[in-house]
Structure 1
Amino acid sequence: MAAFARRKAQRLARPDPSRKRALDARAAEVARLLNARESFCTTSSCDGRVMVTVREGRERHGDDGTGIQKKNCTWLLVTHDPCVKGDVMTALKKATGDAVFKFEPFVLHVLCRELQDAQLLHSVAIDSGFRNSGITVGRGGKITMAVRSTHCLEVPLSHKGRLMVSEEYIEFLVHVANQKMEENIRRIDRFHKGLELALEAAVPADTLFPEGPEKSHSVYVHRRKRRPAREQADPSRELEPQDDTESSLGLLAEIMI
């Protein structure tokens, strides 16, 4: 516990290594929510972006046979909001190499104190549409949860400075990218709201069960309203529909090892 707290303090004290030197607006809301909890520490994020990048110069193959090593990659256009064709065309005028049009969706990496913390976060991410999310356990037991999705877009536009597609096609690509951006924003919003609800519903087990074997079974339990004593004592009472069917939020909160 203390080791994770130290690692989190050191991580959050570091200067932002990104080109922007600041968190993206939509990602910042999620990061603040997670970092306010003792069990989580965000390490990197992007709330989604449309880009035109260009690779200048020659490609070379790695000596270890791992493939092409990309050198001198330049960003000609980067926006975290919907874009227009004119922005792309202006960026392409600067390209003398191979230009690529990209949409990259929301991504978030979070250090988690316990595996159950990562599982809770993973469940919310999957339910919010981030189907490529996953958990990794590294050296020393470091647990990282990555929130990712697969609705990316990457299309080559020019070769050695020569435009290889029509302006009509570029306009179509911009339309597709903007649709993906809108869906990306909706998923971030679902993720943020779902995370708020899941964290509110989840209570550390040791605060409710300070003693007894239940403590070792679950890190999180779901708050339930206490039934009247006469209902608890009546074995003949038929179950209500909500008694035998857990809500999706309950499934998120009651994570078992």
Structure 2
Amino acid sequence: PDRSQLPSWKIQCLNKCDFSKKGSVDDDISHIVAFINSHEQYFTTSSCSGRIILFDGAWDCQVQKRNCSWLFVTHQKCQSEDVLTSLEKSVGDSSLKFEPFVLHIQCKKLEDAQLLHTVAVNSGFRNSGITVGKKGKIIMAVRSTHCLEVPVSHRGTVLITDQYLDFLVRVSNQKMEENLKRIERFYECLQTALQPQEQKCFLKEAADKKPIYRRRRKRAQVDSVTDCCQSVNDHNENSEEETVCDLLFL
């Protein structure tokens, strides 16, 4: 978007450097990030499409990792051989971990955040939530719960068999597949929710004029879109009366 026409709060975020290890938006969600940032009331502050990581470190008494180093990371499905080769480099306590899609969005108003929260929950990201900072900064986080973290070595000694490693990689890859499906479902519902009001009315009128036999033939497709639209419409009608269940005031 043209930065000269953006509000000051959004310009400040756009001018910040990307301090992530990758330094850029993941390919599988670049279209989502661009779509959200094209709307005046939103701006993405951090994101990850989902990843499989093998990291090495040392456990402390509080069961937390210290001095971690990444032995292997991918945002796609992986092969057991690649993970095993990386595991051989471990000198501490390593774990294999799958982290699902996460997206943090700064919102202009609370109603804007509530709308995105409805879209996220209906798309399968049921761990999503909204936080409001002391200065009124509103962040909506898209999160999921289908994570995986398994210790695989201790002080450089591998604790699992090749067969069990194959199993862990297979489970991680299955989670990655489901993760990508939820991402696309989120994008589809997001497009419906952020459509201009005039376009929503036009689509509704066009749907009402369709012949009955065509409705029946495409019932499965129409039902999925209708459910998403209905959820968003219900949210719009009740947003002034309802408060999001997991709203946190920091």
Category of TM-score, reference length = shorter chain = 0.7 to 0.9
TM-aligned CA distance change 1:182 to 1:192, over 3 Å: same
Structure with the greater alpha carbon radius of gyration:
1
- Supply the distance in 2 between the matched residues of 1:226 and 1:148 (Cα, whole angstroms): 31
- Name the counterpart of 1:223: 201
Structure 2 residue ranges without an equivalent (≥5): 1-5, 206-225, 241-250
Q: 1:115 to 1:202 in 2, by over 3 A?
A: farther
Aligned residues: 212
1:122 is matched with 117
- The 5-angstrom pairing of residues 1-257 of structure 1 reads 5-56=7-58, 59-60=59-60, 67=62, 70-200=65-195, 202=197, 223=201, 248-253=228-233, 254-255=236-237, 256-257=239-240
**Offset of residue 115 of structure 1:** 0.8
For structure 1, the 5+ residue unaligned runs are 62-66, 204-221, 228-245
TM-score normalised to structure 2 length: 0.79
* Deviates further, 146-155 or 25-34: 25-34
**CA positional deviation for 1:72:** 1.3
Please say if residues 51 and 75 of structure 2, whose CA atoms lie closer than 8 Å, have aligned partners that are also in contact.
yes
In structure 2, the CA distance between the partners of 1:226 and 1:105, relative to structure 1 (3 Å rule), is: closer
Task: Say if 1:202 and 1:96 are closer, same or farther in 2 by CA, change over 3 A.
Answer: farther
Amino acid in the other structure paired with 2:201: R
Q: Deviations over 1:1-21 (max 9, x none)?
A: xxx921211111111110111
User: Matched residues, percent identical?
Assistant: 47
Bigger RCO of structures 1 and 2 (CA < 8 A, at least 6 apart): 2
State whether residues 189 and 228 of structure 2, in contact with CA within 8 Å, keep that contact through their aligned partners in structure 1: no
Rounded to whole Å, the distance in 2 between the matches of 1:83 and 1:226 is 43
> Paired residue for 2:243?
none
Which SS does the other structure have where 2:7 is aligned?
helix
Distance of 1:140 and 1:223 partners within structure 2: 37
Question: Residues 114 and 93 from structure 1, CA distance in 2 versus in 1: closer, same or farther, beyond 3 angstroms?
Answer: same
Could you list the structure 1 runs, at least 4 aligned residues long, displaced by more than 4 angstroms after superposition. 224-227
